Chain A
């Protein structure tokens, strides 16, 4: 199936003729980042802004190496990163375990849609910082609250994507399987679930982004480790280079997670966009 994006963005879809343009786009992106870095360096080197507000790139990089090897607030950068990733993936696991069945229920049953759709629509627009206090009152300041705050932010994207995926199943494929004797359970397993899989993966990709964004909020309270915690501790003592370094690491990890999911997508959903 050739989708509209083939025509609109020939550079992001695989294909030999688009190769040249794809390369140029990559060059442009790299150049943009370099220019940004140069402006940052120039502004700090000229003394226009005090290092307290914006430390020079070199200082941030030195801090990156120092935190990587010696650590900051009792943990190294990798330990902070590990703590944050563990929370995000624990949240993803529980969230997917709930949201994928919820998505199926919304798409397949009017009763399911009637009950679950309004709940999701209520939950979706609430910013995590708004329900964080309530979560702490209910579940305390332990690890559970942190995972919960991240997990709640992931529910809606996964459930809604799953529901969209289930609804997009081709009626002919269902009819074909039925005419070959498929039971309801077999339809789910052989036709509906694989049909929905590309959308489910998209939901997980969006959820990872949403969860990662929620991380700093989740680590606001009583954490002793984590990238969000590290940034906040640094901010309290005006250690701006750690704050900026932490922000850059969060951005880089988000970018890497996205890339990893795209690779997984190619492996597990190779038919995506092809039929």
Chain B
């Protein structure tokens, strides 16, 4: 059946664009979007695309920032125009690939967070049962964001999903291990958060005295280990 031809392309809030999609973010960046919701395929596609861009070294591109389901490409407009760059990006949208150099990190966590009992209870698990389920299988760094060195790791099984807390804690300390929305996150600095604090780690993914200041890259594998 044909779509009615008078349907507006913009202005409706009902039509979602075809993905992947390249949109300007200001006058010196393009955002390449691979999903409208956070899922494994969209995150993988974003990481593969970012790795491909880095490997290719496109003229005029000054920064490539992989995010949860998108990649920001900052450019110098004196070196490349937006039409030409969009074309270069579009050429690289399809095809398989790897995340680039992906490493495995073992992160020792003391599961002693103030929300640990509540989270386990929400999931109908004992605390030991929750910790065992949480650490089973390892996770992927989905993105760095929100604060210096703050990483989102995913994805837990659907059965391990809890919503965020209703109240935001104004500050949790660096090293806090956070849990919500099917993910585990690690705070590298003191931050406010609405996520559940399930534990703490000595690992700090942010050190401004070295460059690069973080160790974890989007696409890296994380294995959480219990430390007592």
Q: Do A and B bind each other?
A: no
Q: Which residues of B contact A (CB under 8 A)?
A: none
Q: Which residues of A contact B (CB under 8 A)?
A: none
